[in-house]
Chain A
Amino acid sequence: MSSWVISGIKTGIKSTHYPEEQEIRSGVSPGLPVTGSAEGRTPEICPTGALVVTEGRIGVDYRKCIHCFRCVRAENTAPLDWHQSYEWAARTDAEPPALDTRMFGRSLHVLVVDAGDCSACLSEITQLNGPYYNLHRLGFFITPTPRSADLLLVVGPATDQMRVALKQAYDAMPTPKRVVAVGVCAISGGVFGPSFIAGSGAADVVPVDVLVPGCPPPPLAILHGLLVAVGLKPPAVITSPPALAKQTEVSL
């Protein structure tokens, strides 16, 4: 048994210093495309319609971007600019204020509900619980039961047969409570919805407060989403440029 202890000590501390410091290790995020001139670029290349042209510029709606890289790797069109960031979480329009962390004494319990994800989002949440991202050091804990949960993390497009369970889990949570939609599927249905069986995201079933775009969002983006939900980090804007958010409200 002592060999495990020695092995643990030998490995040392691996945890990131985010949010105190920015994470500089490479490979923590796939990045996202950012707005740029529309010249020589074809917005039609985007399979989910995340690229919108306004006044000679291409804007990106992160509620739909699924990291297919077609806007940067397609032939015969100038690639879009790509930004290696990870602080992507945004607030929805009609939302109550962030949960007050003082009230929770740095102990916020998170329930994770899979409403039809492809398992990539869940895998990233699992990483969040691992040594590199170590959710616990920030006072977040993953809880097995809705009865002791303050925050609901939803992944997946809210498939028809998960709706009842998702609603019941949300209803069973005590107030105050907040919902974070993780991944493009949970925000807009992604490639799956809306369809005959999948919805257009978790907002169909439960009121969503924070959106974490990405397909899947990397662990740091999900962590940013949790920090936005408790008001410890300012939110990002869901589109690039930010002004686009208002315009696309209707089309979504």
Chain B
Amino acid sequence: MILANLLQEADLRWPDKVRARGDTCLQARGCEIECSPGVVAELCGWLFSERGYCFATLIAEERASQWELRYVWYGNGDQGVIHIVTRQPLAEQAFASLIGHVHAVDWNEREAEDLFGLTFTGHPRLGDFVLHDDRWNREVTPMRKHVDGSAPLVRLLPEREWKPLLVLNAPGAFAMPIGPIYAGVAESALFLLETQGEDVVRCLPRLFYKYRGIEKIAEGHTATHALLLAERCNGTSAFAHGLAYCQAAEAICRAKVPGRAQVLRVLLAELERFRHHTAAIREICESTGLPVGTSEASILEEELLSLSCRFTGHRYLFGLHTIGGLTRNFEVGDCLQMLEAAQDILGRLEELEKMLRYSNSFLDRIEEVGGVSYDDAREFGLVGPIARASGVDRDVRKMQPYAGYGDFSFEVPQEKAGDGYARLRVLFSEARQSVGLIQQAVNALPDGPVRAEIVNLTPGAALGWAEAPRGATFHWLRIGDDLTVARYRLATPSFLNWNGFHLATENFAFQDFPIIMATFGLSVAESDR
């Protein structure tokens, strides 16, 4: 009903320019709106500001003779998932930028510009994003179809040295570089902190040192092979990404996933979330220099890792997915044992929470530090625990339920403060909800197989999504006529959230930087793909 009204209104506002299509590739509660390139910006802006939709991702595709740009939006329940699609001939590479209407598309457009060679007119900051300007010539566009993803690219000499655009002009101002290799066991990324001495005035993250081109190397492989890549885009949230990928593939071939597999998927995804959040809590303790707290959290993390290994065979839940279900069954007895161990670990995590709540030296470091306001979080399209700590109620498990989530009751914890402490509280509350969900899943485990009997992959395209531990992830899969992957788009929560990272770091002191980074708990691998 909501969708029908929406389409009617869109048709009234932009007569003859907007066309809704009942595309077969879309799941229930989804619709595709085709429109001319000229009205995309207005249409998306309207969805975002007036209709309250959340931006998921921009999918650029090079089809046979034309470009296809797909802006994916999602809302609560009946609001559904909306694809705004616009097409134009391959020769015309300029599109209007949406940045004036929807800030969240910023990095998506920069990425498409770098990898496809598209230009987005009106975007203020293109170039030097995925492909670094000091390594690659601007002519290199690896995602184009004619480029072979398996052989090294011909390296044309870069046109220029990379010089970051610095804005701070004051006596004694300088840019402090952190990375790409820096202290301890850390992922590779560069942060330039512009400062006049004490406070970080501007933070400029430069990512993609770890760019592995997963979207490109998946092309030409079978869908079962690309599943390995989906799991390994981020090892610490492998199950959630594998799940989103499998759901996309299952939507294409209309595979009927058995009920037992759907419930087990919830159980395993929540086990992963529990472990991820414990690790994130450990990182926050570590960043504030709290060794006992770090050790306590680290012990719980290791126990969850070895629990996962005993239960599933792998410490990071690799190799459990298959298109149409799961690769192995789990006995009820094993599930009960796992639940008992998880509850015990949660009990100890709650003890740690109590201790942290009464440690002033710890609270001083994270309270009112690294704040992100509600408006900023919405404007920048943040997702996951970070958005929820700023009061943005956004969780695709509730908004667009998948797997068995529709049948279970759980809360999505929210905080209003938006600071580091709020994010920590969200992590603790979500860990509790996860164990609650594991318990419900074990109690409601239906009998039956865990794998669909027949899975016949057919050409087509579909979107799969999941709430990964760091936020919503969207996987777009197109299977070509030769039954290999023609396009695989991986929209990850870290990619969206890094875009808003500078909001939290700016105007805070230098020594707060590692703490803010830890409370954000983002993954570079997940963003760089």
Residues of A near any B CB (own CB < 8 A): 1, 3-5, 7-8, 11, 14, 25-31, 47, 66-70, 73-74, 112-127, 129-132, 142, 144-146, 156-157, 159-162, 164-165, 169, 190-198, 215-216, 218
Q: List 25 A-B contacts (CB under 8 A).
A: A1-B359, A4-B292, A8-B292, A11-B299, A25-B306, A30-B315, A113-B181, A122-B187, A123-B236, A124-B315, A126-B298, A145-B183, A160-B135, A161-B211, A190-B232, A192-B212, A192-B213, A195-B149, A195-B150, A195-B216, A196-B147, A196-B150, A196-B217, A197-B213, A198-B213
Partner pick for A27 among B279, B298, B309, B359, CB 8 A cutoff? B309
Is there contact, CB below 8 Å, between B318 and A68?
yes
Is there contact, CB below 8 Å, between B235 and A73?
no
Other contacts beyond A164-B135, A190-B232, A195-B213: 19, CB < 8 A: A3-B358, A4-B292, A7-B351, A31-B313, A68-B319, A69-B327, A113-B181, A118-B238, A126-B298, A127-B302, A130-B295, A130-B299, A130-B301, A142-B184, A156-B210, A192-B212, A195-B149, A195-B216, A197-B213
Given A7-B355, A27-B310, A196-B149, verify A191-B229 contact (CB < 8 Å).
Answer: yes
B142: nearest chain-A partner, CB-CB: A196
Interface presence of B186 (CB below 8 A): yes
Partner pick for A165 among B185, B209, B214, CB 8 A cutoff? B209
Question: What's the least CB distance linking B521 to chain A, in Å?
Answer: 12
A-side contacts of B184, CB under 8 Å? 112, 142, 144
A-side contacts of B212, CB under 8 Å? 116, 157, 159, 192-193, 195, 197-198
Question: What's the least CB distance linking A188 to chain B, in Å?
Answer: 14
Interface size for chain B: under 10, 10 to 19, 20 to 34, or 35 or more residues?
35 or more
- How far apart are the CA atoms of A115 and B208 in the complex, in Å? 11
A129: nearest chain-B partner, CB-CB: B185
- How far apart are the CA atoms of A164 and B306 in the complex, in Å? 36
Is there contact, CB below 8 Å, between B299 and A131?
yes
B-side contacts of A1, CB under 8 Å? 359
Is there contact, CB below 8 Å, between B217 and A4?
no
Question: What's the least CB distance linking A170 to chain B, in Å?
Answer: 11
Interface presence of B28 (CB below 8 A): no
Partner pick for B355 among A4, A112, A146, CB 8 A cutoff? A4
- How far apart are the CA atoms of A25 and B452 in the complex, in Å? 35
Question: What's the least CB distance linking B116 to chain A, in Å?
Answer: 14
Interface presence of B11 (CB below 8 A): no
- How far apart are the CA atoms of A169 and B246 in the complex, in Å? 39
- How far apart are the CA atoms of A120 and B216 in the complex, in Å? 22
Is there contact, CB below 8 Å, between B213 and A7?
no
A-side contacts of B148, CB under 8 Å? 196
A169: nearest chain-B partner, CB-CB: B181
Question: What's the least CB distance linking A40 to chain B, in Å?
Answer: 19
Question: What's the least CB distance linking B114 to chain A, in Å?
Answer: 12
A-side contacts of B208, CB under 8 Å? 161
Is there contact, CB below 8 Å, between A7 and B232?
no
B-side contacts of A193, CB under 8 Å? 212
B182: nearest chain-A partner, CB-CB: A144
Given A3-B355, A129-B185, verify A119-B307 contact (CB < 8 Å).
Answer: no
A-side contacts of B235, CB under 8 Å? 117-121, 123, 216
Tell which of A125, A131, A157, A169 has the most Cβ of chain B within 10 Å. A131
B-side contacts of A218, CB under 8 Å? 315
Interface presence of B526 (CB below 8 A): yes
B328: nearest chain-A partner, CB-CB: A73
A120: nearest chain-B partner, CB-CB: B235
Q: Which 10 A-B pairs have the closest CB atoms?
A: A120-B235, A27-B306, A144-B183, A130-B298, A69-B319, A27-B309, A118-B235, A27-B310, A119-B525, A116-B210
Question: What's the least CB distance linking A6 to chain B, in Å?
Answer: 10
Interface presence of B343 (CB below 8 A): no
Partner pick for A120 among B296, B307, B316, B358, CB 8 A cutoff? B316
Given A118-B233, A120-B238, verify A162-B210 contact (CB < 8 Å).
Answer: yes
Is there contact, CB below 8 Å, between B319 and A119?
no
Is there contact, CB below 8 Å, between B188 and A114?
yes
A-side contacts of B185, CB under 8 Å? 112, 122, 125-126, 129, 142
Is there contact, CB below 8 Å, between A127 and B238?
no
Tell which of A74, A112, A146 has the most Cβ of chain B within 10 Å. A112
B214: nearest chain-A partner, CB-CB: A192
Partner pick for B153 among A70, A131, A197, CB 8 A cutoff? A197
A124: nearest chain-B partner, CB-CB: B315
A-side contacts of B209, CB under 8 Å? 116, 159, 161-162, 165
Interface residues of B in 275-313 (CB under 8 A from A): 279, 292-293, 295-296, 298-299, 301-302, 305-310, 313
Is there contact, CB below 8 Å, between B213 and A27?
no
Question: What's the least CB distance linking B213 to chain A, in Å?
Answer: 4
Interface residues of B in 182-206 (CB under 8 A from A): 182-188
Partner pick for B525 among A7, A113, A118, A161, CB 8 A cutoff? A118
